[in-house]
Structure 1
Amino acid sequence: MQIKPGSYCPLLKKDCIGIKCAWMTQVKGTHPQTGQDVDEWSCAITWLPLLLIENSQQQRQTGAAVESFRNEMVNGNQVLGLLLAEGAQLEAKP
């Protein structure tokens, strides 16, 4: 069973006036939960849960990318530290 949203606008306290409303917004893209293409007009308030989900997914991906970059930098710095230590030892020998 699919639940259909109503057309009552709590801001106007009457039925939605549709495209005449300044908050009517077109969203194009991919639905973050289903992966289906989205190209719809709806109230900006009704888009908020969808956009919050998408924002959370993007933040997780950004966090993962930053962590991966950090790990690569740590590994690179360890290798560089070992090379510098070996170079210093070679220069110290007579």
Structure 2
Amino acid sequence: MQQQVPHAQEGTICPLHKKDVSSVCHKCPWWTRVIGKHPQSEEMIDNWTCAIAMLPMLLIENAQVQRQTGAAVETFRNGVVDGVIRAVGAAADMAERRAIGARFDHN
């Protein structure tokens, strides 16, 4: 069973169709249901609206997620680098101890 698409509220003119939104939006493929949190206010959203009108908010949310992802990748990278530095240092120490031990074994 498919959900019925609601009409938009009267009073605004659609910039694409040049008609009142209440007479055109429910037929438009960009009239879509948006569910989630507003990226700036954390307010829950569950409403039908124009996808084109939602683009600024969605772009803001996308930028926030990209910043969070970049920070997580940088943290992971720093952990990997620290681990590699410790591993290389430990291997160098072990190689030095073996070299010192080999000199004493030959004497």
TM-score by length of 1: 0.89
- Structure 1 stretches lacking a partner, 5+ long: 1-5
- Identical pairs, percent: 52
Q: Please state if 1:10 is matched with 2:15.
A: yes
- Structure 2 stretches lacking a partner, 5+ long: 1-10, 103-107
Q: Secondary structure at the match of 2:32?
A: strand
Which deviates the most, 75-84 or 18-27?
Answer: 18-27
Question: What are the Cα deviations for residues 16-66 of structure 1, in whole angstroms up to 9, with x where unaligned?
Answer: 212121110111000000001000100111110110010000000000001
Q: 2:42 maps to what in 1?
A: 35
Q: For 1:52 and 1:18, how far apart are their aligned partners in 2?
A: 22
Q: 2:86 maps to what in 1?
A: 79
Q: 1:3 maps to what in 2?
A: none
Q: 1:55 maps to what in 2?
A: 62
CA RMSD of aligned residues (A): 1.1
Structure ranking higher in strand proportion = 1
Alpha-carbon offset, residue 86 of structure 1: 0.6
Aligned positions, number:
89
Q: For 1:30 and 1:10, how far apart are their aligned partners in 2?
A: 26
Q: 2:72 maps to what in 1?
A: 65
